[in-house]
Amino acid sequence: MLVEKPIGVIDSGVGGLTVVSELIRQLPKEEIIYIGDTDRCPYGPRPVEEVRKYTWEMIDYLLKHEIKMLVIACNTATAVVLEEAKERLSIPVIGVIHPGTIAALKVTQNDHVGVIGTEGTINSGAYFRELTKISSNVKVESLACPALVPLVEKGMFSGEEAKRIIEASLRPILQTPIDSLILGCTHYPLLAPVIQEIAGEGIEIISSGDETAREVSALLYFENLLFTGERPEPNYLFYTTGPIDTFEKIARDWLSIDDITVKRTDLLSVIKEKGM
């Protein structure tokens, strides 16, 4: 039965684990299968065509496992591939951009929303486009923060140096009158406490991970795909294109669960079959 199948999650690396962490918390009965393309991370600075190619390699790989829904847990990949994936796949597909935009439109009181993300995400204009599609009144401030992903990848979630770098990155956007700030990159939630401290209480921080997990729940329910039965313990299976041990360490740390399986894939099986 499709309802028993796992939710498939793809990301350029480990950032999507912030989405997985919320999925496990908000949907504790669901099983998850994840691919992180750690070896080719980050996608942010890559040309659009490369992001498209890599993302489809992950999607094709996951489709070989039966999944009931696909979550593109990477903002850069969502901006490039979401629409075509929604069109081509027969299962529901969710990206991380729309959930953040509707959360922002819900919380903003002054219709002035900020977005930070990688160069790729910000240059794509996807957040601006989604926000203004829904509301003609909303004003949007966008800022690329290329220094933030490296901080997360080095495990520097707090401390004086992290704070200094984040403060310098955010300065331009904090001089605008925004009252809400979308973390438009799935790496950023790990830095959320420091970002909140720097931004101050007047700005509500919106994590695309939390919001995406909620949208997954809403859509599974709407499509009658929620697993509501009983099973011993749900399985969590992770693939990485990079070294297993690094990925495993980060996954255990971030997800606070021990029972995960991490395997390596080079995605080559897919590439070969497609004659690429």
Q: What is the binding site for a second copy (CB under 8 A)? A: 22, 25-29, 92, 94, 98-99, 102-103, 105-106, 133-137, 210, 213-215, 217-219, 221-222, 226, 228, 230
Closest separation in Å from C-beta 102 to a second copy: 4
Closest separation in Å from C-beta 228 to a second copy: 4
The annotation status of 12 as a binding-site residue, yes or no, is: yes
Is 185 annotated as catalytic? yes
- The residues, ordered by sequence, that sit 6+ positions from 158 with a Cβ below 8 Å of its Cβ are 193, 194
Is 145 annotated as catalytic? no
- Cα separation, 191 vs 116, in Å, equals 12
Of 20, 74, 80, 103, the active-site residue reads 74
Closest of 174, 206, 176, 180 to residue 192, by C-alpha: 206
The annotation status of 101 as a binding-site residue, yes or no, is: no
The annotation status of 44 as a binding-site residue, yes or no, is: yes
Identify which of residues 153 and 211 has a Cβ nearer to a second copy in the complex. 211
Between the CA atoms of 90, 260, 22 and 71, what dihedral angle is there, to the nearest 10 degrees?
-20
Of 33, 115, 140, 185, the active-site residue reads 185
The annotation status of 132 as a binding-site residue, yes or no, is: no
Closest separation in Å from C-beta 230 to a second copy: 7
Closest of 184, 84, 194, 205 to residue 126, by C-alpha: 184
The annotation status of 241 as a binding-site residue, yes or no, is: no
Identify which of residues 156 and 219 has a Cβ nearer to a second copy in the complex. 219
Closest separation in Å from C-beta 156 to a second copy: 26
Residues at the annotated binding site? 11-12, 43-44, 75-76, 186-187
Catalytic residues: 74, 185
Residues at the annotated binding site for substrate? 11-12, 43-44, 75-76, 186-187
